[in-house]
Amino acid sequence: MMKQALDGLKVVDFSWYIAGPSITMWLAYHGSQVIRIESLTRPDELRSIEPFKDGIAGVNRSGCYANYNSNKYGLSLNLNHSKGVMVARRLIAWADVVVENFTPGTMEAKWGLGYDSARKMKPDIIMLSSSTQGQTGPEAKQAGFGLELASRSGFTNFVGWPDQDATGVGYPYTDTITPPVGVIAIMAALEYLRRTGKGQYIDLSQLEVGVNHLGVALLNYAVNGTQGGRIGNRHPCAAPHGAYRCLGKDRWCTIAVFTDQEWEAFCTAIGQSSLCNNPKFATMLARKTNEEELGRLVENWTQRFTAEEVMMKMQAAGIAAGIVQSGKDLIEDPQLKHRHHFWYLNHPEMGLCAYDGPPFRLSATPAELYMPAPILGEHNEYVCTQLLGMSDQEFLELLTEGVFE
């Protein structure tokens, strides 16, 4: 392995589910030494989330967990044991960065491991807390998950069909948009540390990250008093605009036409140039007025071709179009293969599995995925004896006392 951008950075990860572990995943991809803290009695619940390799459930068989925890060392630690807390304190003293995403106050109140205590152990420590609504405020201590926050931050209001009830986004969306913000914050804190020798605390609110992604909707309400809402696959400034059924079972292609010039190109591409002069569709206003009929017309054409054929015909004409890809499509996608997006690592229980790599490349220090997600407690001995410097006797004593449960 070549030298990585974050070689030498030491990180302790007390977080769970997706938001916190994804932050440390990005750091691990670029050379950070990340120790993932869990408990045998209460492991990360992401380990219980499908899909499971070969359909066989197991604490070490979740593809979802594996995808967010590669390149990390796994330590099972009983923080409800006084000596477990002692080990955690030694880890913090060893670390440069600590990440956690418990309900605000939990780290300090339960274990005395909050930022004020942490900086006594390590004065220049950087600590990031990724909570649902931040560490302060009347609802700060309210527990929650990304799926709820997707609604709380407004996304659910804009997802779905106008004549149907709210459907939600089907995924803990804020868990996936928060981590890049967390990584940027850590990078800023590391630069501050480099210049001043001082660490700091990062209070990251997933709710506020979500709200930041709806700037247009907020501006529309603030300026125009318009609340907006669900419009399905349509767009206020484009027609046709949507996902259209294609040849084959559950195969779709999205198409987006924004200008009259694109509309003319679209009509030519589908072999119906006369539509350009049809008063129902000749202008954007006319196409929006007759959007239902237009949608049927488009789908009557797309259903004659495969999704791939539709996409290629549209793109050749300069029209924005893309296949609605399945998991199989993504794994086989030639562009993703060329970019080496998926990395294949040999997991102790699941065998060879595909892992998402980072979507950017550093020319001098590209990311490297070299170690699959840890099985529960896999690196207990290594972390304690090699990284923390415990003697074999001390480690065995703590093991016997139930510290690593």
DSSP letters, 203-225, are EEEHHHHHHHTTHHHHHHHHHH-
Quote the pLDDT of residue 166: 85
Q: Could you tell me how many residues make up the chain?
A: 405
The residue assigned the tokens 């996902």 is: 243
What kind and span of H or E run contains 64?
helix 63-67
Measured CA to CA, the distance from residue 367 to residue 389 in angstroms comes to: 28
pLDDT at 170: 81
Residues of the chain with pLDDT under 70: 1-2
Residue-level pLDDT at 172: 87
> What are the tokens at 149?
């926050």
C-alpha span between 165 and 12 (Å, rounded):
42
Report which of 371, 346, 353, 356 is spatially closest to residue 53, judged by C-alpha positions: 353
Q: CA-to-CA distance for 264 and 274, rounded, in angstroms?
A: 9
d(CA 285, CA 289): 6
What is the structure's pLDDT at 174? 92
Exposure string (b/e) for 267-278, b if CB count within 10 Å is 16 or more? Answer: bebbeeeebeee
The pair of structure tokens assigned to 226 is: 């318009």
pLDDT digits (tens, 9 = 90+) for 260-314: 999 999 999 999 999 998 999 999 999 999 999 999 999 999 999 999 999 999 9
Alpha helices (H) in 173-306, listed in sequence order: 173-196, 206-212, 215-224, 260-269, 284-289, 291-302
Which residue among 44, 54, 175, 260 is the active-site one?
175
Amino acid 1: pLDDT: 58
Burial string for 331-356 (b: 16+ CB within 10 Å, else e) reads: eeeeebeeeebbbebebeebeebbbe
Pairing of strands 126-131, 97-100: parallel
Task: Please indicate whether residue 175 is annotated as part of the active site.
Answer: yes
pTM higher than 0.85: yes
Helical packing angle, 173-196 and 19-29, nearest 10°: 50
Phi/psi at 12 (5° precision):
-110, 125
What pLDDT score does 2 carry? 66
373 φ, ψ to 5°?
-55, 145
Give tens-digit pLDDT for 202-233: 999 999 999 999 988 999 999 999 988 999 99
Q: CA–CA distance from 368 to each of 4, 29, 64, 98, 285 (Å)?
A: 8, 6, 19, 22, 50
